[in-house]
Amino acid sequence: MKKIALEIHRSLSAIKTKNATSFRILRRAWSKQLQNSPGKAIILLARYLVPFGFWERIMAYEIILYHREAQQDLRSTDIAVLGRGMNSWAEVDCFASYVAGPAWRERRIPDSVVCRWAHSQNRWWRRAALVSTVPLNNRARGGTGDTSRTLKICRLLVKDRDDMVVKALSWSLRELSKRDRTAVDKFLNRYLNLLASRVKREVQNKLDTGLKNPERSRSSS
């Protein structure tokens, strides 16, 4: 798999203009080529890809996302390695949405792992904990709703004022509100004096209007 990781790295480096479209054309080609590979081999490939850089990291996450056996074979140790070195919201959100969140949803990693991320000194791991709740509740990502586990993580970060964490907390609660509006409304009222202003505003807007920023939507229409 080291050799294939190097080939993927070279193919990414050869793209003159990297954007979502050119990236996904290449990723689909590699997914097709690797579709019959064992899940554990795909995970090993992803672990080799991550240290190369941003695009290789996202490639690693997406290759796992679109390989059913690799998803089923993921364990906590693999996920810890795949998240190592994250340093941007884009990397975190792909990691949590494509890898960690689905694995947690299917109980391949325990709640204690995600709770540990929420207690991390590293802002990106704290954000990852919150974004990992999104696949629990988002229908398009396979979520069927999980109020208990979502709010467990939200409670741990209710006082956090790091901007990247605050935005993720808002996202987590807004996503849950589509599944369990009552629970989110109660959470908002209970922690009203502790939550960041952005969280209170955006989540309340979502509850009241179905939109995060209704004013912005009206002005752009």
pLDDT at 219 over 70: no
CATH T-level fold of 107-211: Leucine-rich Repeat Variant (1.25.10)
Tokens matching residue 21: 């479209």
Q: Determine the pLDDT at residue 131.
A: 98
Q: Which residues contact 40 (CB under 8 A, 6 or more apart)?
A: 70, 73
d(CA 203, CA 209): 10
Each residue's pLDDT tens digit, 151-180: 999 999 999 999 999 999 999 999 999 999
d(CA 163, CA 158): 12
Section 191-214 average pLDDT: 91
Residue with tokens 């064992």: 38
Q: Determine the pLDDT at residue 122.
A: 98
Report the percentage of the chain scoring pLDDT > 70: 97
Q: Is 210 left (phi over 0), alpha (psi -120 to 50) or beta?
A: left
Report the percentage of the chain scoring pLDDT > 90: 88
Q: How many CB atoms lie within 10 A of CB 154?
A: 23
pLDDT at 202 over 90: yes
Q: Which residues contact 19 (CB under 8 A, 6 or more apart)?
A: none
Q: Determine the pLDDT at residue 217.
A: 52
d(CA 164, CA 138): 20
